Structure 1
Amino acid sequence: MEVSTKTVMAIKSYQNQAGVLVKNYLLADPFIPYTSIIGGIILCKMVYDLTQLISSFYIKTYAGLTKIQRIEWNSRGISSIHAIFITALSLHFVFWSDLFSDQPHAGLVTFRSSPLSVFGLGVSVGYFCADLGMLLWLYPSLGGMEYVFHHSLSGIAVAYSMFSGEGQLYTYMILISEITTPEINMRWYLDTAGMKRSSAYLINGIVIFLSWLAARILLFGYMFYHVYLHYDQVIQMHTFGYLLVFVVPSVLAIMNLMWFGKIIKGLIKQLAKMQ
C-alpha cells in the first residue's frame, strides 16, 4: 500500500512538472510560433504513417500502387487533414470570433492576434514546410513548379503573418480556400482506384466546382472588398506586410481562375460522358 501511494505521488509529481514545462515554455507566447511549427511537422509525419497503415489494411488497391503513388497517396492524407483543421479554424476567426470583428475599441484589425491564431498559423507553416520538402525531394513526381511556387508563396505569407502579427485576418481568409483540398485529393484517390467513370467521381467533381467557386473565387472577392473598406488600417502595416496583402492574394487569385477554368472544362467533359 505504501509503495502504491509513493508511485501515485511520483506520477502526480511528473505530471505537475510536465504541466509547468508546457505552460512556461511550449505554450508561452514567445515560444508558440516555434513549438507550433515543430508540432505541425511532427503531426504531418504522424498522419503520413497513419494513412499508410490504414490504407494497407483497408484499401485493396493500395498494395498494387507504385512506390511514388503510395507516397503521394499518403501525402494527400496529410494535406486533407491539414485542410480540415485550418479551414475550421479559419472559419471560426473570420466569421464567428470577436478577435477580428469591427470594434473600434479593439484596435486596428490589421494588427490583431491571439495565442490561438498564432498557433494555428504555426501548424500551417509546419505543414507547408513538410509538404514543400516532399515536393522538392521527389521533384517532379509529386507536382510541378506551380506547386512549389504555390507552397513557397503561401508558406512565406503565413509565416510573416504569424511572426509579425500583421494581417492575420486576411491570412485566415485566404486559408479558408483549403476547404477545396479534400475534394481535390478525393478526385485523385478515385482516379487512382480506377473509379473515374463512377457516379462518386461525378459528384465529387460537382462538389469541387461549388467549393472552388465559393472559397477561391467569391471569398477572394470579399477579401479584396474588405481590404478596400479598411485600407486606412492596411496602409499602416509594414511595407513587406502591405505588399503581401495585395501581391499574394492577387497571384493566388489568378492561379485560382486558371484552375477554375480547367475544373469547368473537366466537369463539362465528365457530364457529357455520363449522358
Structure 2
Amino acid sequence: MRQISSVADSANGSIPLRDYQYHARVLVKDYVFADNFLPYTSILGSILACKVIYDLTKLISNYHFKPYSSLTKIQRTEWNNRGLSTVHAIFITYMSVYFVFWSDLFSDGHGSELITFRASPISIFTLGVSVGYFLVDLTMICWLYPSLGGMEYILHHSLSAIAVAYSMLSKEGQLYTFMVLISEMTTPEINLRWYLDVAGLKDSLTYLINGIVIFFAWLGARILLFGYMFYHVYLHHHQVVKMHVFGYILVFGVPSVLAVMNLMWFGKILKGLKKTLMKQL
C-alpha cells in the first residue's frame, strides 16, 4: 500500500510528507548545523529568540502583573529587557557550569589536544546564543542611552561580545570564556531587585533576602570564581601562550577589566546591603 501511495503521489505530481521530512533533515544537518554555518545560525537564532522572549515578557506582564500598566514607557521597556536578560542568564549559567564542572571536554585527562583549543558543536552553539543576546542588548542600550545603562554597561557588553565571538569563531580559550560567563548567574537576582523596587516592595522581607542572595552570588561568581580562573590560567600558561596573540590578550585583558568592574560593583552592593540591614534593625 505504501508503494502504491508513493506511485499515486508521483503520478499526481505531489511529494509525500516523508520526502519533505527527509529534505528538511538534510537541510538542517548539512547547512543549519554544519560546522561552517553553526556560529552564524546560532547567532541569528538567538536574535530571533530574543525578540520572541521580549514580546512574551511584554504580553505576560501586561496581563498578570498589575504594576506593569502603571509604568512609564521607558520603564516598561526596561522591564521587558530585564525579562530577556533573565532568560539568557539562566540558560548561559547552566550551560557554562556544565562545560566547566561537569563535562569532560575541558578536563585535563580528556584527549591529547590542548585545553585552550578544545571545542564542540554544542559549545560553539552555546557561545553563539550568548553573542546574539549581547548584540541585541548592546543595541538596545545604545539606542535608548542612557535609559537602560551608562557607559559601564556599554563597556561590559562590548568586551563580552568581542571575547565570546572570538572564542566561538576561533575555538580558542572556550573554557575561560565559560568561566567568565558563569558570572551571569547574578543577573536574575539583580533583575528581581529592580522589579521589587519598581513594584514598591523595597521595604519587604523578599527584597532583603534577595539582597543577601546577591551578595553571596556576586562574591562566589564574580570575585572568587575570577580568582580561580586566573589561577587556572597560571597553571596552564604553557598552553595559553600557544593561542593567537589576540586570543592571548583577551584571556588576560577582558577578565581583568571585568574583575575590576565587579569589585567596584561589589563595593556598591555591600554598601547597599548594609543600608538595608540597618533599616530592618
TM-score by length of 2: 0.94
Alignment partner, residue 134 of structure 1 = 140
Alignment partner, residue 73 of structure 1 = 79
Could you give the per-residue CA deviations for residues 181-233 of structure 1, whole angstroms, max 9, x where no partner exists? 00000000000111000001001000100100000000000000000000000
Aligned ranges for residues 48-63 of structure 1 at < 5 Å?
Answer: 48-63=54-69
Alignment partner, residue 217 of structure 1 = 223
Matched residue SS, 1:194: coil
Task: Name stretches of at least 5 consecutive residues in structure 1 with no aligned partner.
Answer: none
Which of the pair has more CA radius of gyration?
2
Match of 2:243 among 215, 237, 242: 237
* Per-residue deviation, 1:14: 1.7
Say if 2:104 and 2:110, in contact at 8 Å, map to a contact too: no
Alignment partner, residue 185 of structure 2 = 179
Aligned ranges for residues 151-162 of structure 1 at < 5 Å?
Answer: 151-162=157-168
Q: 2:62, 2:111 → 1: CA distance?
A: 54
Aligned ranges for residues 229-268 of structure 1 at < 5 Å?
Answer: 229-268=235-274
Q: 2:201, 2:154 → 1: CA distance?
A: 28
Q: 1:11, 1:146 → 2: CA distance?
A: 53
Matched residue SS, 1:106: coil
Q: Which amino acid aligns with 1:59?
A: F
Q: How many residues align?
A: 274
Q: 1:99, 1:83 → 2: CA distance?
A: 22
Q: Does 1:20 align with 2:12?
A: no
* Per-residue deviation, 1:247: 0.5
Aligned ranges for residues 179-218 of structure 1 at < 5 Å?
Answer: 179-218=185-224
RMSD of Structure 2 on Structure 1 (CA): 1.7
Match of 1:39 among 38, 41, 45: 45
Matched residue SS, 1:29: coil
Could you give the per-residue CA deviations for residues 56-106 of structure 1, whole angstroms, max 9, x where no partner exists? 110001000111000100010110000000000000000010100002643
Deviation >4 Å, runs of 4+: none
Q: Which amino acid aligns with 2:79?
A: W
* Per-residue deviation, 1:20: 1.1
Alignment partner, residue 174 of structure 2 = 168
Task: Name stretches of at least 5 consecutive residues in structure 2 with no aligned partner.
Answer: none
Q: Which amino acid aligns with 1:141?
A: S
Could you give the per-residue CA deviations for residues 14-47 of structure 1, whole angstroms, max 9, x where no partner exists? 2221111111100001100000000111111010
Say if 2:43 and 2:129, in contact at 8 Å, map to a contact too: yes
Q: 1:25, 1:109 → 2: CA distance?
A: 28
Match of 2:36 among 12, 30, 34: 30
TM-score by length of 1: 0.96
Q: 1:269, 1:256 → 2: CA distance?
A: 20
Q: Which amino acid aligns with 2:65?
A: I
* Per-residue deviation, 1:13: 2.1
Alignment partner, residue 271 of structure 1 = 277
The alignment-based identity, stated in percent, is 68
Q: Does 1:121 align with 2:127?
A: yes
Matched residue SS, 2:202: coil
Q: 1:154, 1:214 → 2: CA distance?
A: 19
Alignment partner, residue 113 of structure 2 = 107
Q: 2:15, 2:37 → 1: CA distance?
A: 30
